Amino acid sequence: MNHEPNDPRWLKLAASLHAEPSPTTLARVRARLAQRTVAEPAWLRWLARPAALALSAGLLVVSAVAGATWVSTNTVRVAAEDSATFTSVFVGDESSLGLPVTTTDGVSPADSQEATR
Amino acid sequence: MAALETLLERFGTPMATLARSMLRDGSEAQDVVEEALMRAHEGGPGFRGERGVRTWILRITANLCRDRLRRRRFNAGSLDGPAPIDHVELRFDPVEGWDEAMDQEVLARRLDAAIVKLPDDQREAVILRHRLGLSYEDMSDTLGVPLGTIKSRLARALEALRTELKEWNA
């Protein structure tokens, strides 16, 4: 026993008391373990493990961030593509504002009107 | 996963001694020992060495005892005084080299009654150190507190015990 020189002598008697676990301990622990296995589904026990829970939470956060990044990147690209389409339609080279225009070779629509007069 | 038989065989006595000394209730202490064994069995100690497993399993037991004591206080506790050693099934084993003129068992019972009156943290420290024979380092591992805290708890406990058993100090 650990006894310092300046400890009172009677303190040694603290070591004179001990206890034994009940002889039925092993059987009772086994029964309780079996009962716990039946009572709790495997997935719940797995979920209760802190390490697994932390890992799952980490994966969830990483997935959420990756998903948000992907969505924002693709939204910008689609928007850019859409704006290019509108520009080409409304302010296109032919200045038609998207209206169907039939042209004759070498004559612009304005010229053809004048020629009609 | 640690084998239950091995854990019980090697650490059953210190676990039961700690639980019964702290809780002073045989059935509650037995329940704590069983719960601690289950947790140790499920947790799996891995490779810790003999000393590591002992402090680890005693830490589980000490934590369960603290939970029970806290719950007891929360529920207003028992109005009865602390149970004597027979009630909690603490067995008396004579200490070698004791003065034959003094009744060792009577003194041991009085010392135990004085230890029971200590605050929980001091009682826990005295039991681990002087009843189970843990080193300061093992106590620090078991209780999860620094060495200085362990030593000051023990010093305060010893002072209280000296006061309580002042007629023995002569």
Is B32 in CB contact (< 8 Å) with chain A?
no
- Dist CA B35 CA A113 (whole Å): 99
Domain B4-168 annotated CATH 1.10.10.10: yes
- Dist CA B40 CA B46 (whole Å): 10
User: What confidence category does residue B47 fall into, taking pLDDT thresholds of 50, 70 and 90?
Assistant: low
User: What confidence category does residue A84 fall into, taking pLDDT thresholds of 50, 70 and 90?
Assistant: low
A64: amino acid identity, one letter: A
Q: Cβ contacts (< 8 Å) between B12 and chain A: which residues?
A: 20-21, 25
CB-based contact B13:A21 (threshold 8 Å): yes
Q: Could you give the angle at the alpha carbon of A55 between the alpha carbons of A53 and A59, nearest 5°?
A: 115
- Over residues A18-66, the pLDDT tens digits come to 999 999 999 999 999 888 877 767 777 777 778 788 888 999 999 999 9
Q: Strand pairing partners for B92?
A: A17
Whether residues B85 and A29 touch (CB distance < 8 A) is answered with no
| Ranges of each domain in chain B | 4-168
What's the DSSP call for residue A17? E
Min distance A72 CA to chain B CA atoms (Å): 44
Interval B86-114 mean pLDDT: 81
- Dist CA B44 CA A103 (whole Å): 86
Min distance B30 CA to chain A CA atoms (Å): 7
Mean pLDDT (chain B, rounded): 86
**Taking the C-alpha atoms of B160, B166, B169 and B170 in order, what is their torsion angle to the nearest 10 degrees?**
160
Nearest residue of chain A to residue B5 (CA atoms): A26
**In chain B, which among 63-92 make CB contacts under 8 A with chain A?**
85, 88-92
Q: List the helix and strand counts (H, then E) for chain B.
A: 7, 1
- Over residues B108-166, the pLDDT tens digits come to 999 999 999 999 999 999 999 999 999 999 999 999 999 999 999 999 999 999 999 88
pLDDT of residue A7: 82
Min distance A61 CA to chain B CA atoms (Å): 27
Q: What b/e readout covers B145-155, taking b as 16+ CB neighbours within 10 angstroms?
A: eeeeebeebbe
Q: Which of A71-85, A87-101, B103-117, B140-154 has the least mean pLDDT?
A: A87-101
B86 pLDDT above the threshold of 70:
no
Is A17 in CB contact (< 8 Å) with chain B?
yes
- Tokens read off for B50: 């003999």
Q: Could you give the angle at the alpha carbon of B29 between the alpha carbons of B23 and B30, nearest 5°?
A: 170
Q: Kindly write down the DSSP assignment for every residue of B50-75, as one continuous string.
A: HHHHHHHHHHHHHHHHHHHHHHHHHT
- Dist CA B25 CA B115 (whole Å): 15
Is B58 in CB contact (< 8 Å) with chain A?
no
Does this model's pTM top 0.80? My answer is: no
Kindly give, in sequence order, each residue whose CB lies less than 8 Å from that of residue B160, ignoring residues fewer than 6 positions away: B114, B117, B118, B122
